[in-house]
Chain A
Amino acid sequence: GENVEQHPSTLSVQEGDSAVIKCTYSDSASNYFPWYKQELGKRPQLIIDIRSNVGEKKDQRIAVTLNKTAKHFSLHITETQPEDSAVYFCAASRRDSSASKIIFGSGTRLSIRP
């Protein structure tokens, strides 16, 4: 069945440095890739998403890249700040099918060192 793998499971970076989280997906028909951020004790919330008709999308310090051929997509956070500390989940689904279930990766716990 469909699968999304996410790496690394934990990541610690110095404040101000960049962080990169990578995901791969198995269903070649997937064309919608959202990223969710879950702060401690809170619900996961969408922070950015990308559709398969583009290779990159940016929103301030956050960017997501997509390589459809390799079935890889990545989250890039630049100039990290303490408030970026959280668990990040990638996901994949098919935008052209109302019956498509969204599949989540296993999560990355990001810690920002002061």
Chain B
Amino acid sequence: GAGVSQSPSNKVTEKGKDVELRCDPISGHTALYWYRQRLGQGLEFLIYFQGNSAPDKSGLPSDRFSAERTGESVSTLTIQRTQQEDSAVYLCASSFWLQSSGNTIYFGEGSWLTVV
């Protein structure tokens, strides 16, 4: 596709429910990142997928958070038993590493999650 696509763009859920957020990276991009951004805050790294390597899950804040990616395509971020503090924008980004250009990453529009 033309850019990184995320869905849903907005999600309101009740505390305790599970949510799934989807990211469709730019075609051919081997690397995929998930970030969380609370209102007025910075980019909080969650997880990083690179090709067929084991994902870097070092940023996941608790075992309620998990993410999957099939090959070099779509990724899903799942938050179980949502809490109010999970309310944030969840940003997905992808990149295609080239030695000549580095690994510039491109962000999606984000999924705005509100837990009530």
Contact = CB atoms under 8 A, between A and B. Distances in A.
A51 interface: yes
B102 A49 contact: yes
Interface residues of B, number: 25
Contacts of A45: 107
Contacts, number: 56
Contacts of B102: 32, 34, 49, 51, 93, 95
Contact of B43 (A46, A51, A99, A107): A107
Interface stretch (B10-18, B19-27, B48-56, B73-81): B48-56
A3 to B, nearest CB: 12
Interface of B: 30-31, 33, 41-43, 45, 48, 50-51, 53, 56, 91, 95, 97, 99, 102-110
Task: Name the 8 nearest CB pairs between A and B, nearest first.
Answer: A32-B102, A95-B102, A43-B107, A98-B97, A107-B42, A106-B42, A104-B43, A101-B48
Interface of A: 32, 34, 36, 43-46, 49, 51, 89, 93, 95-96, 98-107
